[in-house]
A and B are shown apart, each in its own frame.
Chain A
Amino acid sequence: MAKLTLPPVELVRSGHSACPGCGPALAMRYLLKGTGERTVVSVPASCWTIIATGYPTTALRIPMIDTPIEATGASISGLRAALDALHMSDVQVVGFAGDGGTVDIGLQSLSGMLERRTDALYVMYDNEAYMNTGIQRSGSTPLGAWTTTTPVEGMARGKGEPKKDIMGIVLAHHPVYAATLNVAYPEDFLRKAQKAASLKGPRFFHVLAPCPPGWKFASDQTVQIGRLATDTGIFPLYEVENGKLRVTRKLGQLKPVRDYIKVQGRFGHLTDAEIDTVEHEVQASWAALLQREAHP
Chain B
Amino acid sequence: MIEIRFHGRGGQGAVIAAELLAQAANLDGKTPQSFAFYGAERRGAPVVSYARIDDRPILLRTAITAPDIVVVLDPGLVEVAPVMDGLKPGGTLLVNSPLPPERFPTPKPAFVATLDATQIALSHGIGSRTMPIVNTTMLGALSRVSSVVSLSAVQHAIDEHVPARPAENGLAAIEGFHTVRVAELPGLPGGKAPAGPVAPALSSEVPEAPIASMASDVLHTSSWRTLQPVITREKCTRCNFCWKFCPDNAIDLDAEGFPVVRNEHCKGCGLCAVECPPVAIEMVVEGGA
Contact = CB atoms under 8 A, between A and B. Distances in A.
A253 interface: no
Interface stretch (A141-149, A212-220, A287-295): A212-220
A222 B249 contact: no
Contact of B268 (A13, A14, A20): A20
A271 interface: no
B157 interface: no
B interface residue count range (under 10 / 10 to 19 / 20 to 34 / 35 or more): 35 or more
28 contacts: A2-B240, A5-B240, A14-B216, A14-B221, A14-B249, A15-B216, A15-B218, A16-B221, A17-B221, A18-B42, A19-B10, A20-B247, A20-B267, A21-B247, A21-B270, A25-B247, A54-B40, A57-B200, A57-B214, A57-B219, A58-B213, A58-B214, A186-B245, A213-B43, A218-B130, A222-B247, A223-B245, A223-B274
Interface centre among B40, B128, B202 (most CB of A within 10 A): B40
B162 to A, nearest CB: 15
Interface of A: 1-2, 4-6, 10, 12-23, 25-26, 29, 50, 52-59, 186, 212-213, 218-224
A136 to B, nearest CB: 15
B269 A12 contact: no
Given A19-B42, A22-B247, A223-B271, A218 B128 contact: yes
A58 B216 CA distance: 5
Given A26-B245, A56-B213, 18 more contacts: A2-B239, A4-B240, A5-B244, A14-B249, A14-B265, A15-B219, A18-B247, A20-B268, A50-B42, A55-B210, A58-B212, A58-B214, A58-B215, A186-B244, A212-B43, A219-B269, A219-B270, A222-B271
B76 interface: no
Contacts of B250: 14
A56 B212 contact: yes
Interface of B: 10-11, 40, 42-45, 128, 130, 200, 202-203, 210, 212-221, 224-225, 237-240, 244-245, 247-250, 256-257, 262, 265, 267-271, 273-275, 283
Contact of A26 (B224, B225, B247): B247
Nearest to A14: B265
